[in-house]
Chain A
């Protein structure tokens, strides 16, 4: 590399961060119905419908096929700018990409919330121990028990317990404690680099650069007043 190339300013920086965005949760794929409803809402709150960016969510929708292009046009005619879709259906994802829209995987929230309602697991079974690294693509579940991982949980791996989850190495993937709704459950790990932590259905995702202070040290995650705290 030429020595003075290095001194040049970078053209850009990537930044992570959370952004609040309006979601259009579609209950039907019928464009006429969507259009009707949108124009009704526009009359109620015209200010809202001035080039507002929205996320089109198909989480609730089971019917297929979906004419995404037409739905997008309906939105645009009514002052909304679809920027991305959220869905599990491969076909919708493909059309989103073809239309130049972003794609997000469906929310896991619902699944997590559903299990939280069930308080099935009062009697605990013996702790489940797993020796070694839990790797991308692997999922481990300790039913009605605590789970102890004698190693790290890597990105793309998921460890789940109805009781506590204890990780002797770094947590880089997903850890779910109190999967049946035990709000006293905890997640313990040696280093917090998690993608997601959930306790009794209350979950938090972590943006890669925003690690809480001291997350290189052993940490405990638990619930306090329905929200997740890191100790």
Chain B
């Protein structure tokens, strides 16, 4: 059975698109047929992070309006078999997306894929609700700061009420993904700890991604950071996907490393 997963957050710029790209990539690396759908109409950038922006011809809206066939709009990843993406439109009006249209696309994709990962736009408006509506599961992306946690709380409320699952009296299984985590700033009480966030949001943590320069490096190159298996963020995303698939792994990169002389001399973290 295909699983439809929305990556959502409420607050903008917390790392949804970054997470989508790496989670989708890691799923495909493990042999799961995976498609990423960009719902951020007008601001498409999942294609940039995936490094396929120059191959976009048709987009999600073209498919829902019948201007293009699904097979024409799907872009195959250059590195991995079994990984595809469906880009958002950069030029069309947000309201051109309809629930029926999106529903049909997702139903068709379910026949071909194991995972359908939806990259939600920020906010709590129609676009975000559209992205979550057909989801079976959600990955709620949060940064360790009060405003982000509060917006995620709001989004979890919407997942519990505005989705098809909720309408059918079931619930969307939600996972918490904490990104841009910086143990040093947590230690100085500038940021909230994993425990604090988990206590407030009351959903299980599927991963903690450290704040890392590897992320920006990777997205500038159009290579999802999970390909960079030497980097902390890359490893944290691999762990996250393993947990998402049911493995039990301890959290890494959540404790402050006491820097030894060696790492201090060579500039510390990679």
Contact = CB atoms under 8 A, between A and B. Distances in A.
Given A152-B200, A152-B202, A155-B150, A135 B184 contact: no
A223 to B, nearest CB: 29
A151 B202 contact: yes
A222 to B, nearest CB: 27
Contact of A1 (B124, B153, B160, B184): B184
Interface residues of A, number: 14
User: What secondary structure prevails in chain A residues at the interface with B?
Assistant: loop
B157 interface: yes
Interface in A157-209: 170, 172
Interface in B146-189: 150-151, 153-154, 156-157, 160, 184
A154 B153 CA distance: 8
Interface in A125-170: 132-133, 135-138, 151-152, 154-156, 170
26 contacts: A1-B184, A132-B202, A133-B153, A133-B156, A133-B201, A133-B202, A135-B153, A135-B154, A135-B156, A135-B160, A136-B150, A136-B153, A136-B157, A137-B124, A137-B157, A138-B157, A152-B200, A152-B202, A154-B150, A154-B153, A154-B200, A155-B153, A156-B150, A156-B154, A170-B199, A172-B200
Contacts of A133: 153, 156, 201-202
A156 B153 contact: yes
A137 B150 CA distance: 10
Contacts of B156: 133, 135
Given A151-B202, A152-B202, A154-B200, A137 B154 contact: yes
Candidate in B150, B153, B154, B199 with the most chain A CB atoms within 10 angstroms: B153
Contacts of A172: 200
B202 to A, nearest CB: 5
Interface string A112-136: 0000000000000000000011011
Interface in B229-270: none
Q: Which of A133, A135, A155 has the most CB of B within 10 A?
A: A135
Interface residues of B, number: 13
Contacts, number: 34
A138 B201 CA distance: 14
A137 B154 CA distance: 6
Nearest to B200: A154
Contacts of B151: 136
Interface string A1-44: 10000000000000000000000000000000000000000000
Interface string A63-97: 00000000000000000000000000000000000
Per CB-CB distance, the 7 closest pairs between chain A and chain B, nearest first, are: A135-B157, A136-B154, A136-B153, A135-B153, A133-B202, A137-B154, A154-B153
Given A135-B154, A136-B150, 18 more contacts: A1-B184, A132-B202, A133-B153, A133-B156, A135-B153, A135-B156, A135-B160, A136-B151, A136-B154, A136-B157, A137-B157, A138-B157, A151-B202, A155-B153, A155-B200, A156-B153, A170-B199, A172-B200
B199 to A, nearest CB: 8
B41 to A, nearest CB: 23
A152 B199 CA distance: 9
A1 B153 CA distance: 33
Nearest to B202: A133
Interface in B196-246: 199-202
A133 B153 CA distance: 9
Nearest to B158: A137
Interface string B116-154: 000000001000000000000000000000000011011
Contacts of B153: 133, 135-136, 154-156
A174 to B, nearest CB: 14
